[in-house]
């Protein structure tokens, strides 16, 4: 654990507290696995006693909100109901949740149908995919995770919740907490990257941000850590693909961020599309009941992903839709999203005895308790106020937060000759590339779902606003994202020749990342690479402004540019945020949450792979029969945790409080950080360990803590970390958490491949 982070609430929970069943929310306190499920409140039990089978199935059904229709470009909208049909079914008590509709007027109409028109007057839950912003969009979660600042993530999640709840929403299907180690997978953009600890910390922060301190508050939204579980391990990085995974990897890598999210108070989760070792997650009783509810004592609500229950048929796991509904409810899925299978089949399945009434009642009880927890029974029209909607939408405060988050998410990868920051006067700049004036590709995956695109700031606008003379900027597109543009190269080369410095805005479009956007080749599109070569041939210094939703395999003149900024998709204020870093208003301090490979063929690639019997030799010329590729060493181009700034920092004076760590004791690690540059800056100091000898091979390094430190030029600060036995635990041969006595290496580092190293021994208990 990080001592400073734990003091200010920015670190994730300790594994000890998670394994002990740390309490989440009072209404959903984690209980011991063998304790019988508690009854609901008197109100919930009274409602349950009156409900028909159809009304119960309705509470367990979520449909697209066609009263205020959702955007229909993200998933196939099956089982559609027009607005009048939908209202009739709400009147009949056959719907419990509506999703992806926004606006207070439609919400008011739908809620009136439920609480004034239905027999039992049970209010609706309004849900939506509010992933990293609503009308005002913040950086994609992957980018923001690079800030290594959970407090920032908490603030942007709260900003998104405040804005979205003002538009009549109670529940967001976020955060995504899947650990993603294959950059070919498009949904890498939605999570915190490749590391477990960073994933835990960011998951907890985002849950706190969305939900706030009071679930009944008008600006609180229920958070949904997803996708349960191991979706980030899909084979070959192919979306919706199968997952083959060991029990140890499942429990060490993919489950801890969910535990952190639940410990932070999350009351819902979403089942994954993928199967795990042949059993689809949506029908996986071992995952959804034995582990989630039995081992962890989770008492909240599980919702399927979009039609994931119906897809059990395509998996070849269910005979038909009726069988799929049976398998999903018995596995532990409380709410069926969009397929309509529960509404169609649960009444007859229950009447026939194929699904016990007790199972249905348990799910309905959880859904009603969720509605009660956020105050819907007492205030069914909460978060439905047109005046509040106008007041809390696209405010200057939210836009400023988007700009701040953008600047803090940019990673400076290269800065040869200290070409950055640029002066705001005295240089003629050429901004070249398909993203130079582009306003359609600044938001990233899920960002454009509800966004007010009129807020989007393109690069050219941001750069011009920072220049003393806006006329000192020449702009040329050069090419499209994946195709040529008539005369584009010629005009771009002419612009470069007329400039002192070239800003090259290249990378991926918004449509190349996110769900269903897996890529076999994660290089920059070929036409953009050719444009870069043409620009480099002019001999003018080039600053690459890389746009991307994953780590990119850089090559050639792009890889060798004078400066490279990883700018991701930063949201509404992207152009201003990039300009802030380019001209030094913001000193870049973000670090990579994913490793940049040298080539696409290295994927899946991550810094904390396990040791092998034939590790690559230190001598790069020695390669026979060792763990390396024929053409390259299996190393990152830019490793996890790496990032530069306009200040320089040095670590020194590593000290351990003892060479031995007692079984129940605490080891204190300190090091001195000094700003050796001429500029005030922030540095992310990272703590890693390695278990030298264990009953199962261990990662070469594991992140166990980090701190952000802000220092003036010449100033120093003693960075302090703590380690205890539970921080050294892993999944042993019996698939249970354990710690083993022995020797450990510990690093206080700037990234996952460097640092000051010490050793200590964990003593037996």
Q: What is the CA radius of gyration of the chain?
A: 26
Look at residues 49, 8, 43, 309 and name the one whose alpha carbon lies nearest to residue 151: 8
Q: Is the dihedral of CA 384, 387, 390, 396 positive or negative?
A: negative
Identify the DSSP state of 281: G
Pairing verdict, β 681-691 and 742-749: antiparallel
For 164-282, where are the E strands, in sequence order? 171-172, 226-228, 268-271, 275-276, 279-280
Rounded CA gap, 375 and 378, in Å?
5
Q: What are the structure tokens assigned to 92, written together?
A: 């009949």
Residue-by-residue DSSP string for 450-494: S--GGG---HHHHHHHHSSSGGGEEEE--B-SSSB-TTHHHHHHH
**Angle between the 341-351 and 321-331 helix axes, to the nearest 10 degrees?**
80
Contact 230, 274 (CB under 8 A): yes
At 503 the three-state DSSP class reads strand
Rounded CA gap, 528 and 535, in Å?
10
Look at residues 272, 276, 340, 278 and name the one whose alpha carbon lies nearest to residue 304: 272
Angle at alpha carbon of residue 638, lines to 1 and 241, rounded to 5°: 80
Q: What are the structure tokens assigned to 629, written together?
A: 């590729």
**Angle between the 196-211 and 150-165 helix axes, to the nearest 10 degrees?**
30
Contact 161, 209 (CB under 8 A): yes
CA distances from 727 to 350, 638, 731, 753 (A): 46, 27, 12, 20
Contact 153, 260 (CB under 8 A): no
Would you tell me how many other CB atoms lie within 10 Å of the CB of residue 613? 7
In sequence order, the 6+-apart residues with CB closer than 8 A to the CB of 72 are: none
N residues, the chain: 765
Rounded CA gap, 667 and 299, in Å?
36
CA distances from 644 to 47, 576, 686, 704, 750 (A): 59, 20, 14, 21, 10
* Residue 305 designated active-site: yes
Q: Which residue has the tokens 């050069």?
A: 478
Peptide bond into 421 cis (omega under 30): yes
Strand partners, 97: 62, 125
In sequence order, the 6+-apart residues with CB closer than 8 A to the CB of 148 are: 198, 590, 591, 593, 684, 706, 708
Rounded CA gap, 719 and 601, in Å?
38
Contact 531, 506 (CB under 8 A): yes
Would you tell me how many other CB atoms lie within 10 Å of the CB of residue 209? 25
Within a 13 Å sphere around the CA of 275, how many CA atoms are in the beta-carbon half? 14
Identify the DSSP state of 610: B
Rounded CA gap, 747 and 752, in Å?
9
Choosing from 178, 305, 323, 580, which is the catalytic residue? 305
Residues labelled as active-site residues: 305
């Amino acid at each position: 654990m990080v001592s400073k982070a734990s003091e200010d609430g920015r670190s994730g929970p300790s594994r000890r507290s998670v394994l002990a069943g740390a309490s989440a929310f009072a209404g959903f306190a984690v209980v011991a696995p063998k304790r019988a499920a508690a009854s609901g409140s008197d109100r919930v039990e009274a409602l349950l006693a009156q409900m028909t089978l159809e009304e119960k199935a309705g509470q367990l059904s979520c449909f697209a909100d066609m009263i205020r229709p959702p955007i229909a470009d993200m998933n196939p909208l099956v089982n559609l109901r027009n607005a009048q049909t939908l209202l009739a079914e709400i009147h009949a008590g056959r719907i419990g949740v509506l999703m992806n509709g926004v606006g207070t007027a439609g919400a008011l109409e739908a809620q009136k149908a439920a609480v004034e028109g239905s027999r039992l007057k049970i209010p609706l839950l309004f849900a939506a995919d509010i992933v990293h912003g609503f009308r005002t969009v913040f950086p994609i979660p992957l980018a923001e995770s690079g800030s290594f600042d959970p407090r920032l993530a908490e603030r942007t999640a709260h900003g998104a919740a405040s804005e979205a709840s003002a538009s009549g929403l109670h529940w967001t299907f976020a955060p995504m907490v899947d650990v993603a180690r294959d950059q070919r997978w498009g949904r890498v953009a939605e999570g915190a990257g490749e590391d477990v600890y960073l994933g835990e910390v960011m998951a907890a922060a985002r849950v706190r941000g969305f939900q706030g301190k009071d679930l009944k508050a008008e600006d609180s939204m229920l958070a949904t850590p997803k996708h349960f579980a191991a979706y980030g391990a899909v084979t070959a990085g192919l979306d919706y693909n199968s997952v083959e995974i060991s029990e140890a990897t499942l429990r060490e890598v993919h489950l801890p961020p969910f535990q952190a999210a639940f410990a932070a108070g999350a009351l819902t989760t979403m089942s994954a599309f993928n199967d795990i070792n042949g059993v689809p997650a949506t029908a996986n009783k071992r995952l959804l009941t034995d582990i989630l509810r039995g081992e962890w004592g989770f008492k909240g609500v599980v919702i399927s992903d979009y039609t994931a229950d119906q897809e059990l048929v395509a998996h070849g796991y269910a005979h038909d839709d009726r069988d799929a509904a049976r398998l999903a409810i018995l596995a532990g899925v409380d709410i069926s999203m969009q397929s309509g299978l529960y509404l169609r089949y649960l009444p007859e399945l229950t009447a026939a005895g194929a699904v016990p009434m007790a199972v249905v009642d348990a799910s309905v009880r959880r859904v009603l308790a969720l509605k009660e927890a956020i105050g819907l029974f007492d205030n069914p029209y909460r978060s439905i106020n047109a005046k509040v909607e106008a007041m809390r939408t696209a405010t200057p405060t939210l836009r400023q937060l988007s700009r701040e988050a953008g600047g803090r998410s940019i990673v400076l990868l290269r800065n040869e000759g200290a070409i950055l920051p640029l002066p705001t006067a005295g240089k003629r700049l050429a901004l070249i590339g398909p993203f130079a004036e582009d306003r359609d590709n600044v938001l990233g995956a899920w960002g454009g779902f509800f966004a007010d695109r009129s807020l989007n700031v393109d690069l050219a606008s941001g750069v011009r606003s920072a220049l003393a003379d806006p006329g000192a900027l020449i702009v040329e597109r050069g090419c499209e994202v994946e195709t040529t543009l008539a005369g584009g190269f010629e005009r771009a080369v002419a612009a470069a020749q007329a400039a002192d410095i070239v800003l090259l805005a290249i990378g991926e479009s918004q449509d190349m990342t996110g769900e269903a956007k897996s890529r076999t080749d994660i290089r920059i599109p070929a036409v953009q690479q050719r444009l870069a070569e043409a620009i480099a041939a002019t001999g003018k210094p080039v600053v690459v402004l890389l746009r991307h939703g994953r780590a990119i395999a850089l090559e050639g003149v792009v890889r060798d540019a004078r400066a490279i900024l990883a700018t991701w998709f930063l949201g509404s204020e992207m152009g201003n945020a990039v300009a802030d870093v380019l001209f030094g208003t913001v000193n870049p301090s973000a670090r990579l949450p994913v490793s940049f490979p040298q080539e696409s063929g290295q994927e899946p690639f991550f810094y904390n792979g396990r040791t092998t019997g034939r590790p690559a030799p230190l001598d790069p010329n020695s390669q026979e029969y060792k763990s390396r590729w024929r053409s390259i060493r299996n190393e990152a181009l830019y490793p996890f945790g790496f990032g530069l700034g306009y200040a320089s920092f040095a670590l020194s004076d590593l000290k351990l409080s003892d060479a031995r760590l007692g079984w129940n004791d605490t080891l204190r690690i300190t090091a001195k950080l000094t700003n050796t540059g001429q500029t005030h800056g922030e540095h992310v100091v990272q703590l890693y360990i390695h278990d030298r000898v264990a009953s199962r091979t261990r990662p070469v390094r594991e992140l166990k803590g980090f701190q952000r430190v802000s220092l003036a030029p010449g100033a120093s600060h003693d960075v302090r970390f703590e380690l205890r036995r539970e921080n050294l635990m892993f999944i042993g041969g019996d698939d249970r958490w354990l710690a083993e006595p022995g020797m450990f290496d510990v690093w206080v580092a700037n990234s996952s491949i460097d640092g000051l190293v010490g050793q200590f021994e964990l003593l037996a208990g």
